[in-house]
Amino acid sequence: MEETKARLCKFIFDGLMLWGMAVPAFWLISGIGESVLRQDFLLLYFAAFFFAALFTEVINRRKLLFILIPVIVVTVFLTSRDTLLLWNCLTACGVCCILLLILFASFRKWILPLPVILLLVFCIPNEELPGFTAGCLLLSFLGVISEFLRGAKRERFLPLLGGVSLLACMIPSSPEPMQWEGLKKAISGTGDLLVTGWKNVSYFFEGLFGDEDVSYLGYSESGGLSGGLIGSEREELYFKKEGKKQPVYLQGSVYTGITAKGLTGKMQQELPVNAWMAPYLSALSVAGVTRAEAACFSKVERADVTYAYIRTGDLIIPSTIFRIRNDLKYGLDETAKKGFSYDLGYFIFDYASPYFRDFCDRAGRLKGRAGYDEAVRVAKELYDLPLPDYLTRDEYEASMTAYEETEQAPDCLDTTMVTDRMQELADQLTKGCDTDRKKAENIERFLRQYTYDQSVDLRGSENYVDAFLFEAQKGYCMHFASAMVCLLRASGVPARIVQGFLHEPNEEGLVTSQEAHVWVEGYLSGVGWVRYEPTATMASAEDTGWGLVLKEPGKEELPEKKEVVQEDPEELPAIPEITVLPEKQTTEGTSFRQIMRTVVFYLLVILGLAAVSVAGYLLVRRILYLRLPAEEKLKTDMAALRKKLDMKLPEGERAESVFDYLPYIDDETVRSRLTELFRKYYRVRFRRDAVTPELQRDLHLASKEKYA
pLDDT in tens, 143-183: 777 666 644 444 555 555 555 555 555 544 444 443 445 54
Q: Compute the distance between CA of residue 677 and CA of residue 259 in angstroms, rounded to an integer.
A: 77
| Residue 423: predicted pLDDT | 95
Q: What is the mean pLDDT of the chain?
A: 77
| Residue 409: predicted pLDDT | 78
More confident call, 647 vs 81: 647
| Residue 439: predicted pLDDT | 94
| 90 pLDDT higher than 80 | no
| Residue 600: predicted pLDDT | 66
| 223 pLDDT higher than 80 | no
Calculate what percentage of the chain has a pLDDT beyond 90.
29
| Residue 467: predicted pLDDT | 93
| 673 pLDDT higher than 90 | no
Residues 166/182, Cβ–Cβ less than 8 Å: no
Residues 389/454, Cβ–Cβ less than 8 Å: no
Helices 65-79 and 39-58 pack at an angle, to 10 degrees, of: 140
pLDDT band at 589 (very low <50, low <70, confident <90, very high): very low
Average pLDDT over residues 522-538: 92
- Alpha carbon distances (Å) from 622 to 349, 627, 633, 634, 693: 71, 9, 11, 14, 18
More confident call, 688 vs 353: 353
Q: Which of 379, 299, 378 is nearest to 346 (CA)?
A: 299
Burial (CB < 10 A; 0-12, 13-18, 19+), residue 121, is exposed
| Residue 437: predicted pLDDT | 94
Give the chain's end-to-end CA distance (angstroms, integer). Answer: 14
Average pLDDT over residues 343-347: 93
Taking CA 177 as the corner, what is the angle to CA 172 and CA 181, rounded to the nearest 5 degrees?
Answer: 40
| Residue 152: predicted pLDDT | 44
Q: What is the pLDDT of residues 456-505, one digit of tens each?
A: 888 878 899 999 999 989 999 999 999 999 999 999 999 999 999 999 88
Q: What is the pLDDT of residues 13-67, one digit of tens each?
A: 666 777 777 777 777 776 664 455 666 666 777 777 777 777 776 676 666 766 7
Q: Which residues contact 440 (CB under 8 A, 6 or more apart)?
A: 488, 493, 522, 524, 530, 532
Average pLDDT over residues 439-458: 91
Average pLDDT over residues 386-393: 94
What DSSP character marks residue 235?
E
| Residue 484: predicted pLDDT | 96
Residues 532/283, Cβ–Cβ less than 8 Å: no
Q: Which of 131-140, 302-311, 580-589 shows the lowest per-residue confidence on average (mean pLDDT)?
A: 580-589
Q: Compute the distance between CA of residue 379 and CA of residue 397 in angstroms, rounded to an integer.
A: 16
DSSP one-letter string for 424-446? HHHHHHHTT--SHHHHHHHHHHH
Q: Which of 291-295, 542-546, 553-557 shows the lowest per-residue confidence on average (mean pLDDT)?
A: 553-557
Average pLDDT over residues 63-73: 72
Q: What is the pLDDT of residues 201-221, one digit of tens each?
A: 554 444 444 444 434 456 776
For residues 522-537, one letter each, b for 16 or more C-beta atoms within 10 angstroms of the residue's C-beta and e for the rest, the string is bbbbbbbbbbbbbbbe
| Residue 229: predicted pLDDT | 55
Give the DSSP H or E segment for 15.
helix 2-30
Q: Compute the distance between CA of residue 340 and CA of residue 345 in angstroms, rounded to an integer.
A: 17
Q: Compute the distance between CA of residue 248 and CA of residue 237 in angstroms, rounded to an integer.
A: 14
More confident call, 493 vs 619: 493
- Alpha carbon distances (Å) from 700 to 641, 681, 697: 9, 12, 5
Q: What is the pLDDT of residues 410-445, one digit of tens each?
A: 889 999 999 999 999 999 999 989 899 999 999 999
pTM beyond cutoff 0.75: no
